[in-house]
Amino acid sequence: MTVLGFIRHGSTSWNKEGRAQGSSDIPLDEEGRKEALLLADRLSNESWDYLISSDLVRARETAEIIASQSKGMEVQIDPRLREVSGGKIEGTTEKERISQWGKDWRKIDVGIERQAAVVLRGMESVHDWMNKYENKKVLFVTHGGFIKIILNEMGLLLNADEHIGNTSLSCLRCLGGEYIAETLNCTNHLNEGIKANR
């Protein structure tokens, strides 16, 4: 039985400013590195076999922090795990988008990557790694929009308005081609870290 874990990267300055990141290569901020360390501490008490990351620096940095706390874990890179490309909206806030294209800007073609394309590359990546590491426990460090699309494709439907938290962990088991969720969008490690620092 293969176990998959999907992790969203730690926070960035653009997250805090409400800017669409997409394929823009934005690094973690200081809080994002602290979040990644808290997650790394949680994962170091679990037994994961492989760690695969998006090539974007915010995901790669998160993965490297996790690997640094897990003995023998190495980061492998897969560009297919990248965030949904935002086209012309990358780097903009909602206010700026409304100012430029109007409140119905979502109805305009601004070059955002189509969901079908994300599903195609994302599921291809997941299946390739599952075939390579059959019956192992595999972590994917990737992005919020990407995770939501892939989990929904797997039948683990999330509320359309649900926010995928920074360094959240979603774990599932694959049994006979069916995906069974154990944990979705879990950030308990962040709460434990806050308690520990009080």
Would residue 83 show up in a list of annotated catalytic residues for this protein?
Answer: yes
Catalytic residue among 9, 35, 61, 143: 9
How many angstroms separate the CA atoms of 150 and 156, rounded? 9
Q: Which residue has the tokens 């119905």?
A: 104
How many angstroms separate the CA atoms of 49 and 133, rounded? 9
Catalytic residue among 35, 83, 90, 113: 83
Of 8, 37, 29, nearest to 192 by C-alpha is 37
| DSSP character string of 49-113 | -EEEE-SSHHHHHHHHHHHHTSTT--EEE-GGGPPPP-GGGTT--HHHHHHHH-TTGGGS---PP
164-167 contacts at long range (C-beta below 8 A, 24 or more positions apart):
164/8, 165/8, 165/190, 166/8, 166/9, 166/10, 166/11, 166/15, 166/32, 166/35, 167/7, 167/8, 167/9, 167/10, 167/32, 167/35, 167/36, 167/38, 167/39, 167/62
- Residue numbers annotated as active site: 9, 83
